[in-house]
Amino acid sequence: MVKIDKHIGELLYDHECVIVPELGGFLSSYIPSKIHPVRHMVLPPSKKIAFNIFLRQNDGLLANHVVQSEHLTYPEALKEIEGYVEACIKELGEGKKFIIERVGILSKDTETNIQFEPFSNVNYLNDSFGLPPVQYIPLHKEDFEQQVEKQLHDFISLRPSQSQPRPAVFRKKARLNALNTMLLTGSILWLCINVYIVAPTKVNLASLNPFSIGRETTVSPEVAKPEIFTQPSIAHTETVFVKTTAPVVAESAAVTSSKEFEEIINANQGVHSYFIIAAAFSSMTNAHKKADELKSLGYQDAGVIENGKGLKLVCYKGFSNHETAVDELHRMQALNKDAWIFSR
């Protein structure tokens, strides 16, 4: 015989309403975690099971579950449920209690109304699976206050009346900390006096070293020596260091003769010491082509110089003053970010 009790309990885990045709429906509702004040226990969340006698219409849920679990046909499952309901009504009519395993007990009161008492030993909430009630020890406020007072009294009684002398290690560390603080404060004051009083503008910060030994520290009113842009190394022969936004001149373009460029550069050698370089080549022919390209773009002072290491440097223009060359370099880098300064 099919045990309908088992199927009702299994369905209550996943459904909020399980209807037994011609008997009634079992409803489940969520109950949050709570504290049992008498048993001193923390109860996990659960489902509360209730019974509604007016839900008697067959919705097919229980019958289909019996069909899948017991491998019966649908009419056979309905017949098993009908026999279960008849047995329940018969026992209730005789004044007995009808027990539904793992669910609860059905009974009739003095007015022949069906009453339901759920079992509390089964938790049908899947989220609380494996969570047992937790027992806790009650803490009385009076006992807690007495314990705190006792600990405070013991602490005060054990506290020494006079301060204990510090070990030598702590005294030495305190002296070192005081000395370091004095040195740091003196250094900061010395720096502030030099920067804001002695030379408030154009200060050479490299000369403000308080730990220099054997030479007099001076504050230079001049700006620090400008940065010299050194020539990058050549990775491969015929490699151009700087990309330009201008199109490449065709091979058939006219190339200024080597003698003409040499005359231009030699005329400026006595005046110019800094050159803004656009590209570097190992071949003089390629360098002349690049210089012609710059001339066609409007750089009339473009030319070719040698760095003494076998490279031909194509320059935009030469300058006798480094600061002027640096200012012009910043302007040129807006068009050619790889431009750099070569100094003789």
| Residue 207 pLDDT class (50, 70, 90 cuts) | low
Whether residues 26 and 102 share a domain: the answer is yes
Task: Say if residue 243's pLDDT is above 50.
Answer: no
* Ranges 152-156, 272-276, 280-284, 287-291: which has the least confidence: 152-156
- Written as six digits, the tokens of 114 are 């069906």
Task: Say if residue 40's pLDDT is above 70.
Answer: yes
Tell me: the pLDDT tens digits for 11-30? Answer: 999 999 999 999 999 999 99
* Distance of alpha carbon 241 from alpha carbon 245, whole angstroms: 13
Which comes out higher in pLDDT, residue 214 or 174? Answer: 174
Whether residues 85 and 196 share a domain: the answer is no
* Distance of alpha carbon 237 from alpha carbon 251, whole angstroms: 19
- Asked if residue 323 lies in contact with residue 262, where contact means CB atoms within 8 angstroms, the answer is no
- The answer as to whether 275 is a domain residue is yes
Amino acid at 276: I
- The answer as to whether 253 is a domain residue is no
Tell me: the pLDDT tens digits for 97-149? Answer: 999 998 999 999 988 899 999 998 888 998 888 888 888 877 666 666 777 88
Whether residues 9 and 131 share a domain: the answer is yes
For residue 287, the tally of other CB atoms under 10 A from its CB is 24
Whether residues 313 and 206 share a domain: the answer is no
Distance set, CA 75 to CA 1, 19, 84 (Å):
15, 17, 14
- Written as six digits, the tokens of 231 are 């020539």
* 284-295: average pLDDT: 89
Question: Of 117, 135, 153, which marks where a domain is finished?
Answer: 135
Tell me: the pLDDT tens digits for 220-242? Answer: 444 444 444 444 444 333 444 44
Task: Say if residue 324's pLDDT is above 90.
Answer: no
pLDDT at 76: 93
Query: In which domain, by residue range, is 200 found?
Result: 192-225
Whether residues 30 and 104 share a domain: the answer is yes
Share of the chain above pLDDT 90, in %: 29
Whether residues 221 and 262 share a domain: the answer is no
Whether residues 221 and 266 share a domain: the answer is no
Whether residues 219 and 288 share a domain: the answer is no
pLDDT at 80: 93
Task: Say if residue 308's pLDDT is above 50.
Answer: yes
- What length is written for the chain? 344
